[in-house]
Amino acid sequence: MWVKICGIRDPATAGNVANLRPDAIGLNFYPHTPRAVSVETAAEIVRQLPKEIEPVGLFVNHTAEEVRSICDQCNIRTVQLHGDEPPQLLADLQANNGELKIIRAYRMGTEGLDALAEYLAVCDRLNVKIFACLIDARVEGMYGGSGQTVPWDRMAAEYQRDDWPRLILAGGLKPENVSVAARTVRPWGVDVAGGVESSTGEIDLKLLERFITAAREI
């Protein structure tokens, strides 16, 4: 089970998290969140990361040029797009860097995954290669990090895993429920932020260790 820890904000925390050996850490460049990190700090974090831990840049409605610039400055090769970015922006990003890995976040609400199916169809027509889809809960006025779970049974039934990109499950995951969630949804990976924090933006290493252990036991 691929495990990503999102919302790392400083080199000391990054070092402590790296010692627990997740597969990836998320660096949030959306300024309107307490989990945001500056470009300079993110670059320092990436420099100290072990090679086996992948840094992922999280963006919300940035322009393609802004994404490219930040990734270049921080040596980031995987991006997570968590806003309302159209398929054409993804195509523009990959036109300049064919090796860029894109994780497309989708906020699932009562409409299910119909809109995601339409979005992925457009991406196919534009020859966009999406590495994975991250499914989070839809909460009005938020682009993620709400702590709300998605309907796991419905997601498992609707996600076309044979035809769509890898599935990463997010939204309200914590040490106590990640095992049940993963067994229900059968994702390729899981993503967590608030579920392993003592307060917003503050990683609790004991919670994180429990989370990684539970996820890896699947």
Number of structural domains (the chain) is: 1
Give the domain range for residue 97: 2-216
List pLDDT tens digits, range 59-81: 999 999 999 999 999 999 999 99
CATH of the domain at 132: 3.20.20.70
β strands within the chain, DSSP E: 2-6, 24-28, 54-59, 78-81, 101-108, 132-137, 166-169, 189-192, 197-199, 202-203
**Mean pLDDT, to the nearest integer, of 28-39?**
94
Q: What is the pLDDT at residue 139? A: 66
Q: Is the pTM value of this prediction over 0.75?
A: yes
Q: Amino acid identity, residue 121?
A: A
**CA–CA gap between residue 143 and residue 207 (Å, rounded):** 24
Q: How many residues does the chain have?
A: 218
Instruction: Give the CA distances from residue 212 to residues 115, 142, 149, 158, 174, in Å, rounded to whole numbers and listed in that order.
Output: 31, 26, 18, 26, 10
